[in-house]
Amino acid sequence: MRVLWVEDNDRITAEKQQNWFGEFNQTEHIVRKTDFSQAYQTIREEPRRYDLVILDINLEHSASVNLADFEGKIVIPKENEIFLKEAGFHLYLQLILNCFPQDKIIFLTSNVDSENQIENYLIELRQAYSIEDQENMNRILEQVRESIHAEDRPKFDDMLENPNNFEKLLKNLKSLVFARIETIPGETVENTFREFERRFDT
């Protein structure tokens, strides 16, 4: 199997890549593109080389794109910043136009991955609490703390200083760690998708 992986996050660790791809995590199987323009050119010129395409939606860390180069080729917004936030959707449409099988395209986005990871931490925290495993609870809480935004960590620390009861603590922690993802406009996959969909409907 040959995989085209479009991901601009240079902080992806070798361990995480191994977890995602398993036995296929080999150079000859995975071709990674970290830039929108490179990925677009690859999809336009040689989509048949790949059995599976994995797309990140937000490609803000790509090199700056000259939108004039894509006029008449794709439906684009006016601002370069907005374009890169939804760039994965444009690559998806290009794949469809090139008759690439829709069921062989996967969206793998860091927002969703982070959200799921934190949710897993909170489940583990509840399990550790149920068996009174304080050492494991401390380890998990530290992992949660490292996963949240730096500006939210003082609030997180305050919650641990005044735990009240565990269920309330868990509820407050969950509200805190997901609040930033849910409230920043354009930051979630769903918000990006709705804006993208709206532009095509008008």
Strand order across the beta sheet in which 52-55 lies = 30-33, 3-6, 52-55, 105-107
Identify any residues that bridge with 197 across adjacent strands, giving them in sequence order.
Answer: none
* Two tokens, residue 139: 């380890």
**Distance (Å, whole) CA 28 – CA 111:** 28
As a whole number of Å, the CA-based R_g of the chain is 20
Mean pLDDT of 98-115: 74
* Two tokens, residue 65: 């794109």
**Where does the pLDDT of residue 95 fall: very low under 50, low under 70, confident under 90, or very high at 90 and above?**
very high
Residues of the chain above pLDDT 90, percent? 4
Q: Which among 17-21, 46-50, 115-119, 153-157 has the top mean pLDDT?
A: 46-50
Pairing outcome for strands 30-33 and 105-107: unpaired
In 3D space, the residue among 12, 16, 20, 87 whose CA is nearest the CA of residue 52 turns out to be 20
The three-point CA angle 19-58-81 to 5° equals 155
In 3D space, the residue among 163, 161, 123 whose CA is nearest the CA of residue 144 turns out to be 123
pLDDT of residue 186: 41
pLDDT of residue 1: 79
> Mean pLDDT across the chain, nearest whole number?
74
pLDDT of residue 86: 81
Beta strands in 68-165 (DSSP E): 105-107
Residue 49 has pLDDT above 60, yes or no: yes
**Distance (Å, whole) CA 29 – CA 167:** 46
